[in-house]
A and B are shown apart, each in its own frame.
Chain A
Amino acid sequence: MNRRVLSLFLIIGAAALASGCVSLGVKPWQRDLLSRQDMQLNGNVLDDAIDDHLYFSKEASSGGRSFAGGGCGCN
């Protein structure tokens, strides 16, 4: 039952998100701030990689924003 309710919420949520996305956004000439390096979601690849390696070897969770490796688990 819980699973059905969760599925229903997910479907409604996805539909709301999809319809909401259409009304969001900017015109191509309004992307000045969005094109800045500090607004890129993968703009600090090396910082993220070094941090992810640190957290991967000290905590039980990894990944989320990108594919997570299984690693050796022996550090």
Chain B
Amino acid sequence: MKRDEGGVRRRLIAASCALLSASAGRTEEAPNTGVQRALTDWSLDSALAYYHEDGRVQAVEPVVSVSKAYGDGASIGLNLTFDALSGASPNGASPSSTPQTFASPSGKSLTGGKHSYTTAPGDLPEDPHYSDLRAALGVDWTLPLERLLTAGFGAKLSYEDDFYSGSVNASIARDFNQKNTTVSFGASYEADSLHPIGGTPVPLSSYALFEKTGNQSKDGAGLLLNLTQVMSRNWLSEVSLSLDRFTGYLNDPYKIISVIDASGDVRGYIYENRPDSRTRRSVYLDNRVAWERSSTGLSLRYMTDDWGIHSETAQLHLRWWTAERDKYVQPTLRWYRQSAASFYSPWLFDSTAPQLSTASSDSRLAALQALTYGLKYGIKLRDKLGRESSEFNVRIEYYQQTQENRLPGPGTLRGLDLYPDLKAILVQIGFSY
């Protein structure tokens, strides 16, 4: 997280466009050189996404994935992702009836010139200088052990200005019933290192004191059990059970909480503190049904954790093909709802704040509901021999998040918009070969 780097974002867009056009060019030529012949065994998937939140952050995310399938059923895949994020991000404090002055994470005082910012009365406090870069590299390897037994391995490295992450996973899958039933079981491990800009704030310490400590870490392990079943000639079903546990530093080091008095006036701010472990369980169900010129998918997920959060997700998509099966359109609808974490509170009262051991006003831990409307359009491209060789697609999504169970503000907070909706749009172009 540092000052806006618009130049980096522009370079990412340019590099992504170059990659998209370079891979598109390959389809024009027959594989008459050694390199081209070697490349025909590979498939390439690339996308460039632009994400924009109304009045907040925007991000550019190019992604490239290449994979190669071998004759014996083995495959290897490589995935590269970049992210350039910039804009304004909520700092966790509540709106107030008076102006509020804050410091960016690298600031040492509230009067630090370029490191400070002031939020107008009634507005949601947001750090206007939020910026982050992310690069992630993932590798996947699938290896047949026997005719009905397959092993899978994966590793991922992720780098951000203030966060490094490494993870590995392994799974084994067994086919039954003439390969109509597949059961797989996998395990994963992740180790993360956090290097917050300006240091790690002392949890629950006063924001005005700038008490900071060194780097932090967390790690997690997960288990995933999956059953895939062919139900009929046009119906495929999947159910997954997952369990994971993360321990260590689970705070957002940049989030603070307003401490107010009974009349709603701000008495100060403290840094948040979350429990140092989190265990999540989930059930995921996916169904796909195909017809001659259309298909549909419906997925449902229920997730619960020991922070008191329960969530339900339902996603439906429909795809229609043209008669020539060279173009398709795919609308998507996603609905999501979650309950609040037990330690979530939009603000704290000065009379009770000193007794708390955990607290966060991060709106992502609040009770909320979200809807996503999406539309995707794809064109299949053919090579000189008339074979389907590649696809170009464009996708647009609109996301709206609304908080629920809104606690009314006391005194001077009455009448203020304390829980503004989050509205975002995602535009993505993709090319696969």
Residues of A in contact with B (beta carbons under 8 Å apart)? 17, 21-22, 24-28, 30-34, 36, 38-39, 41, 45-47, 49-51, 53-55, 57-61, 63-75
- Measured in the bound complex, the distance between the Cα atoms of B162 and A26 in whole Å is 51
Looking at A32, A66, A71, A73, the one whose CB has the most chain B CB atoms below 10 A away is A73
Q: Can you offer 28 A-B residue contacts whose CB atoms are under 8 A? A: A17-B227, A21-B177, A24-B181, A25-B229, A28-B178, A36-B290, A38-B295, A45-B45, A46-B46, A46-B47, A50-B49, A50-B63, A50-B426, A54-B51, A54-B424, A58-B401, A59-B401, A60-B311, A61-B301, A64-B282, A64-B301, A67-B186, A67-B244, A70-B165, A70-B190, A72-B160, A73-B251, A73-B252
Residues from chain B with a CB closer than 8 A to the CB of A46 are: 45-47, 63, 65, 430
Judged by DSSP, the binding face of A is loop
Q: Which of B176-199 contact A (CB under 8 A)?
A: 176-181, 186, 188, 190, 192, 194, 196
Does B61 sit within 8 A of A, measured CB to CB? yes
With CB as the reference atom, state the residue of chain A lying closest to B230: A25
A25 to chain B, nearest CB (A): 3
- Measured in the bound complex, the distance between the Cα atoms of B63 and A45 in whole Å is 10
Residues from chain A with a CB closer than 8 A to the CB of B39 are: none
Looking at A34, A65, A70, the one whose CB has the most chain B CB atoms below 10 A away is A70
Known: A34-B290, A41-B236, A55-B336. 9 other contacts (CB 8 A): A25-B229, A54-B426, A59-B401, A64-B240, A64-B301, A70-B250, A73-B251, A74-B163, A74-B252
A39 touches B295 (CB 8 A): yes
Residues from chain B with a CB closer than 8 A to the CB of A17 are: 227
A70 touches B178 (CB 8 A): no
- Measured in the bound complex, the distance between the Cα atoms of B288 and A39 in whole Å is 6
Does B110 sit within 8 A of A, measured CB to CB? no
Residues from chain A with a CB closer than 8 A to the CB of B266 are: none
Residues from chain A with a CB closer than 8 A to the CB of B309 are: 60-61
Residues of B in contact with A (beta carbons under 8 Å apart)? 1, 45-47, 49, 51, 57, 61, 63, 65, 79, 81, 83, 85, 89, 132, 154, 156, 158, 160, 162-163, 165, 167, 169, 176-181, 186, 188, 190, 192, 194, 196, 218, 220, 222, 224, 227-234, 236, 238, 240, 242, 244, 246, 250-254, 280, 282-284, 286, 288, 290-291, 295, 299, 301, 303, 305, 307, 309, 311, 313, 319, 328, 336, 338, 341, 364-365, 368, 370, 376, 395, 397, 399, 401, 422, 424, 426, 428, 430
Residue of B229, B288, B422 near A21 (CB, 8 A) is B229
Judged by DSSP, the binding face of B is strand
Residues from chain A with a CB closer than 8 A to the CB of B218 are: 70
- Measured in the bound complex, the distance between the Cα atoms of B224 and A68 in whole Å is 10
Residues from chain B with a CB closer than 8 A to the CB of A75 are: 57, 85, 89, 132
With CB as the reference atom, state the residue of chain A lying closest to B169: A67
